[in-house]
Structure formats: C-alpha cells, structure tokens
Amino acid sequence: MGCKLNYAETSTISRKFSDSLYQKVSFKSFADIYIINSCSVTNNAEIEFQRIVRYAKNQNAKSMIVAIGCYAQLNPEKVYSVIGVDLVLGYEEKFHIIEYLHNERVGLLKNKIFSKIRRKNYNFFPSFSVGDRTRSFLKIQDGCDYKCSYCIIPMSRGPSRSERIENILKNIDILLKKGVKEIVLTGINIGDYRVGQRRYKFFDLINIIEEDQRQRTDKVRIRLSSIEPNLLTKECIEFVSKSQCFVPHFHIPLQSGSNEILRKMHRRYKRELYQEKIHYIRDLLPHAYIGSDVIVGFPGETHENFLETYLFLKTLDISSMHIFSYSPRPKTKSMMIPEKISRTTQKKRSRMLRLLSNKKYRLFCTRQIFKKKTVLFEKIRKHHPYIYGYTENYIRIKIHRNELDSSKRIENTLQKVYLKQMDKDNIMIAEMI
C-alpha cells in the first residue's frame, strides 16, 4: 500500500522470502502467509488495510496475516486489534521478517506486536524494486525532519537519513545487470539527501550518478521522484536540462496556492517561490513533465483560500496534479485547528481541481504531438492489441502490435517513436521510427 518507497521496500522484503525457500504467489491466490505493507498517510489508507485483511482471510481462513509498514509502526495495538491480523512488525522489524516467522513457527514468540518507537539512532535499510515492473524504484533517503502540520510521516518513519553514495552506485550497478532500463530515485524527502563528513548533498549525488553513467555503454534513464520546491535548486534544474541520463520529469508538491494556508501547513516556502521554480523549469525545459500535489479542505481553508489555489494553478504551466482531501491524523498540529471543512465541500473542491488537472494534462500532451520521443516499453500483455510505455517526459503512449516488427524484442527496451494523437483515455497513440 502507499508510496513508491513502500513499493521498493515491499520488493526487497519479497526477495528475502524467495531466498529463504518460500514460494511467492499472487496476493489474490490461496496462501499460507499474507503480508500487508501498510500506509498511514490518510484515514482511507487505514480503512483500505482492514478491507485487505478481510480479503486475505476470505482466501484462506487459516492463513497467517502479518502487518508491516507505517500504520503498523505508528499504531501497532490498533493494527493488531483488526480481526485476522496475527503478527505486527514495525519499521525496523519488518526487514527481519523471516526470523520472526521462523520463531513463530517453532513457538518462540511470546508477543505478537514488535514495533520499537525510537527517537534516536534510526537505521537506514537499503531497498529497491526489481522484476515486477519495467522501471525500478531505488531508495536513496528515508524519514523527514520537516514538521508539516498535517503530516504523520516523521512519526512513522523517523528523522531524515540517507544511503551512502557508494551503496547507491552499487545498487544501480546491480539493477543494470538485471536489465533495468529506468531507475526512479525515491525517498520521503529526496531533496534533503545528505551524507558523510563532507556533507554530500542531493546535487552532489546526482552529479556523481551522472558521471558514473557516462562511463557505461548501456542506456539507462534516471527519474526523480517527488522533491520539495524549496530543495529543488536552480543548479539542480540546470543539471537536469543538460543531463544525458536524468530525464525531464519533476514532481513538485504545492499543497496549497494560498500563502495563508501554506503558513498553517508549516510549509517552508510561499507560492511565489513555487511559481519561480516552475517558470525556471519551463525556460530551460519547455517539454518537461511537471506534476504537483494539492491538498483540499485543510482546516480553515475558506472559499477565498481555495479560489486562490484554483486560480494560481490555472495560470501555472504544470502538466498534472494529484489531488488529496485533507485527512486528520492523530498527534499532528493541524488537529488543533478548529475550522473543519465538510466532506461535501472537500469533494466539490477536489472535483474542480481534478477537472483542471485533466485539462492541463491533455494540453501538455497535445503540445507534444508530431514530436519524436524515446519510450521505455513495458511487458506485452497477452491477447492485448497494444503495447504501452512512457516517454522520457512521462507521457503514456501505446502502439498497436500489428505495427511492430515481430522479429525484434520490444518490451523493456528504449525505442524512438513519433507521437500522433491522443485517445479518449488520455493515452498518446504513437508509431515506431
């Protein structure tokens, strides 16, 4: 469940089972053990967790269900109270899941909840995904030192900490040897990357990765996941504009276009700074994909505050938005703000912004028609007429299989294509060059 970081960690934990002579099956299949890597960002994620537990028990009533992840770390007793959950493992414990299951099997576990709440000395556990999708998510950073008033992540994942540069390069090498063609650098707050006595920072990291890739013959794409606007420096934008392997793709969370609401959210920037970064990207990279996150219905968000956000986003040259309704999280400062926004109002505001996002995405894609792009093709689906992929600037494309040379391997390869037109599902129809 949840973010790209959870996906990378799930994949890493899954490989531990394969190495320990367990047989991995689909979550939809009959299994002896079901493992749920939970999320705590919203209340809906907690409700979805309960639904998944019921689903697993319906598959096999005698199965063992193990809850791991952020929800399990944050509120282990509540997770264990969900009917069907047999074992709860917190942030650090989940990476030793095989040992806990072995001890459970031989009757050594007296407790069923293992979730240490540590205020110091949080460890960094390397993780990356491979094998399940065309692209791989590589964890470079974890935790967060920011104290946004609505966010529970610092409580569930601890303070900001980063992977050593030599280990990142080593893991990139492992992924390339496995045939991965695209790597997404991911974390909770990747722009806050910093390690070592010399205090290597994010800009140093991407430069070192670029230099390492220049010495290789295999083509690989590096994509950045979400990065805070105050940490996306002009030198980073300039770097991506000249890079040979980092693609023109940015995801920059805004959360609100009202400075009043940004202040209540304890965000570390004003909307003017955000606008400045978007304009700078467009000046250097006119065809870059720029995504954003927006929260609607934050406590105290008046109609005027929302209109500020809507009109601000309407004028910004971004590509799309992820819209979230505010979800009150326990022990966060926003819980203390009295002016709550009704669900009806939240839904109305979400609907308006989603319509705006859809228009922006279609406009962004329309500007790319008749242009040549490089696409990383995904696995071919059986009995499906199209093969799909993403361009370097994150446009979803499809090509009819009848137009492909059957003698050439297409899936998990980078190919030049020509963009022709958008279909009704916001997918670009392309042809091979």
Say whether domain 136-366 belongs to CATH 3.30.1300.10: no
The tens digit of pLDDT for each residue in 74-96 reads 888 898 998 999 999 988 889 88
Is pLDDT at 108 greater than 80 in this prediction?
Answer: no
Give the separation between CA 309 and CA 173, rounded to whole angstroms.
43
Which two tokens mark 124? 């960094």
CATH class of 372-432: mainly beta
* Range(s) of the chain covered by CATH 2.40.50.140: 372-432
Helix/strand/coil for 128: strand
CA atoms within 13 A on the CB side of 275: 14
Q: What is the pTM of this model?
A: 0.91
Fold of 4-114: Rossmann fold (3.40.50)
Which two tokens mark 100? 């806990």
* Range(s) of the chain covered by CATH 3.40.50.280: 4-114
Is pLDDT at 109 greater than 80 in this prediction?
Answer: no
pLDDT band at residue 294 using 50, 70 and 90 as cut-offs? very high
Which two tokens mark 101? 């299951």
Average pLDDT over residues 168-197: 92
Average pLDDT over residues 348-355: 98
For residue 142, report the phi and psi dihedrals to the nearest 5 degrees. Answer: -145, 160
Give the separation between CA 227 and CA 289, rounded to whole angstroms.
14
pLDDT on residue 120:
59
User: Is 223 within 8 Å of 185 (Cβ atoms)?
Assistant: yes
Average pLDDT over residues 252-258: 98
DSSP secondary structure string, 129-142?
A: --SSSSSEEEE-EE
* Range(s) of the chain covered by CATH 3.80.30.20: 136-366
pLDDT on residue 305:
98
Give the separation between CA 428 and CA 45, rounded to whole angstroms.
31
